[in-house]
Amino acid sequence: MINQIPHITRKDVNMPCVGLGTMLYPEPEKAIDLIRHALDYGYTHIDTARKYGSENWVGEAIKSSNIQRDKLWVTTKVTEDNAKPDDFRKSVETSLSALNLDYVDLLLIHWPSRSVPIIDTVCALNDAKEEGLALNIGISNFTVPLIEEAVRCSRSELFCNQIEYHAYINQDKVLDACDKYGILVTCHVPLARGKILNNPIINSIAQKYMKSPAQIALKWLLQQSRISVVPRALSYKEIEENISIFDFDLSEDDMSQISTLRSNNLRIVDPEVRRPVWD
């Protein structure tokens, strides 16, 4: 059991730097059991979305656990199909009802819409915050020009941009833009859906630290500033492993070696119907 997970902070708001991803979960009973196990083991940050169909399971797992609401961080997202303000509002209400919560800690626009102006969706996002449905708001899969537009449109500061980031992709442009506007970064697909776990460099570093390849890949992300990760796993062992990464630090040399892998430029989440023009 992990007692205390480090946080990343934006203006006095603290978010646990490791969360549990809940996309592509198996059948409901197994999903609820895995999420509940994560909560029992010390996870205090859960990442879900209307699109994943996992909000109900997250809600059930929270209800059956002993965790206090104010010790928990829940992120959910509104899909681009609900980018118009009225639809957006309904989606947030549906999410809260599925989660059985009065508010989420972080509400994200899941993907930028191609058909609805950014300003309309960002206004709806701000409305949700002002109505107390979300404590913090942010964006996901936003590129540099879209980040700039969202920042310009938003009445409230944007807390986070959730983007694909792992050792096989170079996201320097987006990271720099987020840094410029003080926006934290959450890495989705932080293990490149397992594709980096056989890499020889990651494996030799893992052996040196007596850690698993997944732990090394996650630690490489977390040792960069203002970063959090939301890995997903389907076994107790992997769920536990992915958060047991605070008893070691990678050396500068090992960090640099892993950074060379970014030249692979592997983008995993790239749906044609949703993708913006990537930086």
Is 230 in contact with 200 (CB distance < 8 Å)? no
Site string for ligand NAP, 14-53 (x = CB under 6 A): -------xxxx----------------------x------
| Interaction between residue 112 and ligand NAP (CB under 6 A) | no
Residue type, 213: P
Residue 139 or 151: which CB sits closer to ligand NAP? 139
The residue (of 13 and 269) whose beta carbon lies closer to ligand NAP is 269
Least distance from ligand NAP to the Cβ atom of residue 162, Å: 5
CB of 242 within 8 A of CB of 215? yes
For residue 157, give the H/E element and its range. none
Say if residues 146 and 163 touch (Cβ distance below 8 Å). no
Question: Does residue 191 bind ligand NAP (CB under 6 A)?
Answer: yes
Residues 139, 161 contacting (CB under 8 angstroms)? yes
Please report, to the nearest 10 degrees, the dihedral formed by the alpha carbons of residues 124, 101, 23, 187 taken in order.
60
The residues annotated as belonging to the active site are 52
Closest to 153 measured CA to CA, from 164, 141, 137? 137
- Binding residue count for ligand NAP, defined by CB under 6 A: 29
Indicate whether 2 belongs to the interface with ligand NAP (CB under 6 A).
no
User: Residue 94: in which H helix or E strand, if any?
Assistant: helix 85-99
User: What tokens does 55 get?
Assistant: 């909000």
Phi, psi (deg, nearest 5) at residue 186: -110, 130
Q: Which of 79, 121, 136, 140 binds ligand NAP (CB under 6 A)?
A: 140
Q: Binding ligand NAP by CB under 6 A: which of 50, 129, 211, 232?
A: 232
How far apart are CB 63 and ligand NAP at their closest, in Å? 20
Binding site for ligand NAP (CB under 6 A): 21-24, 47, 110, 140-141, 162, 188-194, 197, 212, 214, 230-235, 238, 241-242, 269
